[in-house]
Amino acid sequence: MTELNFEKHFQDKVDAEIKIEPKDWMPDAYRKTLIRQISQHAHSEVVGMLPEGNWISRAPSLRRKLILLAKIQDEAGHGLYLYSAAETLGISREELVEQLLSGKAKYSSIFNYPTLTWADIGAIGWLVDGAAIMNQVMLTRASYGPYARAMVRICKEESFHQRQGYEIMLTLAKGSAAQQHMAQDALNRWWWPSLMMFGPKDDDSAHSQQSMKWKIKRKSNDELRQQFVDVTVQQAEVLGLAIPDPDLKWNEERGHYDFGEINWDEFWNVVKGNGPCNKQRLDARIKAHEDGAWVREAAMAYAEKKEQRKLMESAKAEAA
């Protein structure tokens, strides 16, 4: 087959909803897009552990502490599945981590915002995980098999994450004046960055169209963002909290909520590294990696020694 035929055969499979598997032929650009997207997703899980980890030691009850620990542990697990899914495309975890630490690879900008009060842990579960689920449910149908399957596992756990976040918000919203203040303040700070999580507007999104043709994505950034707003506005009403957007209004004709203009300058600024915690997040990952180098080296050296000893012993046994 010529290159052109390969490409047609590939697109036919995608169109027929047949999953692409690691050993199948795929266009180079498809492979590159997937590596970029899956690794970005993996890095987001791992960096995302930091803002929540900030509150483990201060979780206000034993039950909350256990839930928070379990949730962050899930995120480490998600990072692992996703690194494995990326590795099926012919790149190693070490290379991917290197790209994160050197600043070459991106992760979700939302994690560059600080967690200032306990309510932020609620807001992250409710809004950030809520937004992530919109995207991830779509990705369970992605054309690349290992990615889609990783997403199925991840989605199951994410819905628990979102519920626990909403439950924290509900408890605070029903609580004392100070607790209500924390809840509203967290919503004020996390609302717009959560809307930004869906990425640039469709017209400005560099990769969107091609990704839709390859069925990596099935809904556009703006469609997913609208879906998120529609669901979340109603949840905020139940909480009795006010969404910080004066332009938010139900549009009877469209059957959706209209909402105000996102501050895209802020979005690009955080992407470029100028968010409130970009430096701290990356520094924390670099420190963990560097401080841990001798541990990883020791584990390797020990495994090699063990292997050597086994070989020696079986050689001795043979000689005897």
Q: Which residues bind other proteins (CB under 8 A)?
A: 46, 49-50, 53, 56-58, 60-66, 69-70, 72-73, 76-77, 79-80, 83, 118, 168, 171-172, 174-176, 178-179, 284, 287-288, 291-302, 305
Residue 168 or 224 having the CB closest to other proteins: 168
Residue 70 or 152 having the CB closest to other proteins: 70
Give the nearest distance from C-beta 19 to other proteins in angstroms.
27
Residue 192 makes CB contacts below 8 A (sequence gap 6+) with 244, 262, 263, 266
Residue 19 is classified by DSSP as P
Give the nearest distance from C-beta 2 to other proteins in angstroms.
42
Residue 52 or 158 having the CB closest to other proteins: 52
Residue 50 or 243 having the CB closest to other proteins: 50
Give CA–CA dist 43/46, Å, rounded. 5
Residue 74 or 245 having the CB closest to other proteins: 74
Give the nearest distance from C-beta 92 to other proteins in angstroms.
14
Give CA–CA dist 192/286, Å, rounded. 28
Give CA–CA dist 170/164, Å, rounded. 10
Cβ-based neighbour number of residue 172 at 10 Å: 24
Give the nearest distance from C-beta 43 to other proteins in angstroms.
12
Give CA–CA dist 51/53, Å, rounded. 6
Give the nearest distance from C-beta 232 to other proteins in angstroms.
23
H-assigned helices in 197-292: 208-213, 221-239, 264-269, 278-291
Contact yes or no for 89/273 (Cβ under 8 A): no
